[in-house]
Amino acid sequence: MKHVSASDIEGMEKIFRLNLVNSLSGYKSANLIATKSEEKGANVAVFSSVTHLGSDPALLGFVTRPETVPRNTYKNIKDTKFFTVNHIHQDMIAKAHQTAAKYEEEVSEFKKTGLEEEYLDEFYAPYVKQCAIKIGCEYVNEYQIKENGTALVIGAIKHVYFDESIQTPDGWLRLEDAGTVAINGLDAYALPALLDRFHYARPGQEIKSFFDNNEPKD
């Protein structure tokens, strides 16, 4: 087994280090965060750091990139307080990845990539029309991460949209049926496959699968 030390990582060529360290945490969520500026229109960018923070109240968060250069998504959220999180699915990964390009602030990634803006229920920020799962969020707070100049942005979930057919009777969403993908590292997209789903774990109780009754997983 290969061993890599902290000093080895520090001495690596930049892109090699980026590729290694960004893949160490495993598969990550793949989302497009969309915002709208007060003056210059809509913006959309790919993020792999969106994470669940709690269900009551319903919160999610994401980590901004270091503010060494202008960050349109972060600026728009701070200015307007609204943003959307849109699951990337298997039929749109190339368009989604292109949103990572460093376009000028006045240039809309929607127009450059072929993604479409969609406005629902008078929410200020646009959703991505092609996405099968869309979440409308309102900025709540942020926490500065001084070690690398980033910030954890907290959003309250205000609206959720998805096809009713992917939801099970207990509320869970079958992301496979929506074609939701995951990100490995910075630039690799994967389609996860459901292996099993287990009932709530409690001490002293036998581990029980939802599929023990031989119901199909798909």
Q: Which domains does the chain have, with CATH numbers?
A: 24-190 (2.30.110.10)
For residue 69, pLDDT beyond 70:
no
Query: Is the pLDDT confidence value at 35 over 60?
Result: yes
pLDDT of residue 105: 79
- Measure Cα distances from 168 to 47, 76, 132, 175, 218 in Å: 27, 35, 16, 11, 12
Strand partners, 45: 33
Tens-place pLDDT, residues 75-125: 999 999 999 999 999 999 999 999 998 888 788 899 999 999 999 999 999
Instruction: For residue 186, report the phi and psi dihedrals to the nearest 5 degrees.
Output: -100, -25
Q: Using CA atoms, how far apart are residues 23 and 161, in angstroms rounded to an integer?
A: 30
- What's the Cα-to-Cα distance from 68 to each of 31, 43, 77, 84, rounded to whole Å? 23, 19, 18, 24
pLDDT of residue 72: 85
Mean pLDDT over each residue of the chain, to the nearest integer: 92
Q: Helix and strand tally (H, E) in the chain?
A: 6, 12
Mean pLDDT computed over 204-215:
80
Supply 198's token pair: 């287990």
